[in-house]
Chain A
Amino acid sequence: MANENDYHGHPNYLMVLVWLLVLMALTIVVDLVFPSDMRGLAVLLIFALSTGKAFLVMQNFMHLKYEPKLLDLFPYLSIACMLAFFFGVLPDTTAIENILTQ
């Protein structure tokens, strides 16, 4: 070990990059090939692929999979905050829509 702070392992970064590019290519393919009446499914797939890319970056390039589990709280708690905000405000949005459509 060259450095005492380098307690984590090092994945094959090139392979991770290849996977990221494959997911990127798939994202574009989904966008291009899905017909307009299946747009909702295409959007879901596109965001699932993006989440996969983000997960690969965090786990491998940012070495999160080698860090203590407590460190997972930093990114995942942030995402939980976003979801809490989103679902907290969503009823207000729908309430406005109800008023508009009455």
Chain B
Amino acid sequence: MSDVTIERVPKARLGMWLLIAGELIIFGGFIACYVLARFENVGGENMFGHNVIGNFGSEHAAGFTTMWIGALNTVILLLSSFTVVKAHEASLNNDTAGITKYLSMTIVGAVLFLTIKLGLEWRHDFHEGWTIVSSQHTAGAEALSEPMVASLFWSYYFLMTGFHGLHVVIGAVVIFIVMMGARKGKNLHRVEIAGLYWHMVDLIWIFLFPMFYLAQ
């Protein structure tokens, strides 16, 4: 157990933890709404013994996301979490070359993640007729007996993965700015703070992955 008092925690780190807490509340609200919507629309007899309508989360809607792509993105984020913490370790040794190397790798991870998410997945989804407001479907529509309920899945999917993607972009930009400063030997303590933010991005995806790709 740590015997460090709260007064000892640097203000920047404390501030970042406050931001992370706020972000977790926002995403936590989304997740809670999503789970409640699934309970309401799972179809058949639910956990309370009531017969409910809908096919949200059945083999229909969630079945259209590709598990392997989501898994690949999860591995990319886990690896980038590792590289960012290695950058933090390098910053403690004033190793600017190490910081640059590891933060560059983290940025590459962010770009890869976004390329797969936007360029591959979303592009395919849009092509199939799925959008954040989709209630009319083109390809694959025959499988859905409740278009409105099915679109609920995609509304949550695009809202939450889009919001998460925005955080990936912000994280990558922040890490790039921190890396530029660190190359000149300036503000090395910011590496840890930017890293904390990046871990939060990873943390959120750890739950989005099973929600949208596995728990059907």
Residues of A within 8 A of B (CB): 2-3, 5-8, 10, 13-14, 16-17, 20-21, 24, 27-28, 31, 39, 43, 46-47, 50, 53-54, 57-58, 61-62, 65-71, 74-75, 77-79, 81-83, 85-86, 89-90, 93-94, 96-98, 100-101
Q: Does B148 reach chain A (CB closer than 8 Å)? A: no
Which residues of B from 171 to 216 have beta carbons under 8 Å from A?
189, 195-196, 199, 202-203, 206-207, 209-210, 214-216
Q: 9 tightest CB-CB pairs across the interface, nearest first?
A: A82-B28, A78-B24, A86-B32, A74-B21, A17-B82, A74-B17, A70-B6, A97-B50, A43-B215
A24-B78, A61-B85, A78-B24 in contact; A67/B199 too (CB < 8 A)? no
CA distance A53 to B10 in the complex (A): 26
| Residue in A6, A74, A89 whose beta carbon sits within 8 Å of that of B32 in the complex | A89
Q: Across the interface, do B4 and A66 meet the contact criterion of CB distance under 8 Å?
A: yes
Q: A26–B48 Cα gap in the complex (Å)?
A: 30
Within 8 A of A (CB), among B54-89: 67, 71, 74-75, 78-79, 81-82, 84-86, 89
**Contact partners of A3 in chain B: CB under 8 A:** 92, 189
Q: Decide if B53 is an interface residue (CB 8 Å cutoff).
A: yes
Alpha-carbon distance between A16 and B79 when the two chains are bound, in angstroms: 11
Query: Which A residues are CB-close (under 8 A) to B21?
Result: 74-75, 77-78
List B residues 72-110 near A (Cβ within 8 Å): 74-75, 78-79, 81-82, 84-86, 89, 92-94
Q: Complex Cα distance A5/B92, Å?
A: 10
- C-alpha gap A21/B25 in the complex (Å): 27
Binary contact readout B31-62 vs A (1 if CB under 8 angstroms, 0 otherwise): 11001100110000010101111000000000
